Amino acid sequence: MIWLVGNKGMLGIEMQNALKYKNFSFISSDLEVDITKIEKLREFVEGKEIDWIINCSAYTNVEKAEDEAALAFQINAEGVKNLSEIAKEKNAKLIHISTDYVFDGESLSLYYEEDEPNPQNIYGLSKLAGENLVKKTLKSHFIIRISWLIGFYKSNFLYSILKQIENKDSLNIVSDQFGSPTFAADLVEFIVFIIKQDSNEFGIYHFSSEGKISWFDFAEKIYKLAKQYKITEKNVQILPVPSSEYPTKAKRPPNSYLSKEKLSTTFGIKAPFWLESLELFIKELKEII
């Protein structure tokens, strides 16, 4: 049986839909089962045979984390350690979602799994602490680092751009921060693959779309496809601006493009190109709105 933790978040909803569609035997939980309290977790799984735990829960508010460091670490580090302990007690395998923010973004190249982390904000520090606690506690783990998550459920960059298009005549979008989006549907497909294979290829993996782009590049293409598929009729200007024009409390990595070479060599999986996934997303969005 699979235990999906965090089934009401952007990734969790999509993950739960896939588990239902593919007829997996699973249970799920969200805030009602507090991952920061290990006894609550033990109560929830008592008498249940758990083979896999998929952790989609996290503290993800990058800006607020600068003022709520204790809470961020409680959820992203201690909570993750608790789930690792439960996995160990149940002899289960853990799939844990981490982030590109464990890197400082100063590299001019792409980031590999074995590159030295150097987080620059509280969110990144808390997520790295979670990774380290998983590795220390449980051998049978998959840590999947992702970037720029996009999904049909909950707010994200793509929805923000579509909303701004309707409300503004021009949009200023940062053009000097680079990476690649991770579409929830693609990530869910990879997670399902790992479980179906009952894989023992444990360790850290990077997963995001192929193709290094800036937030500006991404926004520009979102707008063009939204026009093409008639999600919007509005004419707007998308303008590139430096990140210095939008100072934030939490420092963002200027480059967080992740290598997927290990993904390919280990599993024979090639991450989809970002533009292909974006067009599929826009097409499906057109059908449901």
pLDDT-above-90 percentage for the chain: 98
Closest by CA position to 76, among listed 45, 46, 119:
119
Any idea which residues carry the catalytic annotation?
123
Q: Is the pLDDT of residue 193 over 80?
A: yes
Compute the distance between CA of residue 288 and CA of residue 240 in angstroms, rounded to an integer. 30
Q: pTM to 2 decimals?
A: 0.97
Q: Is the pLDDT of residue 5 over 80?
A: yes
Task: Look up residue 53 and give its DSSP letter.
Answer: E
For residues 42-53, average pLDDT? 97
Handedness of CA 246, 171, 119, 58 (dihedral sign): positive
- The matching CATH number, chosen from 3.40.50.620, 3.90.25.10, 3.40.50.720, 3.30.450.20, for 2-155+181-211+256-272 is 3.40.50.720
Residue type, position 211, single letter? G
**Mean of the per-residue pLDDT values of the chain:** 97
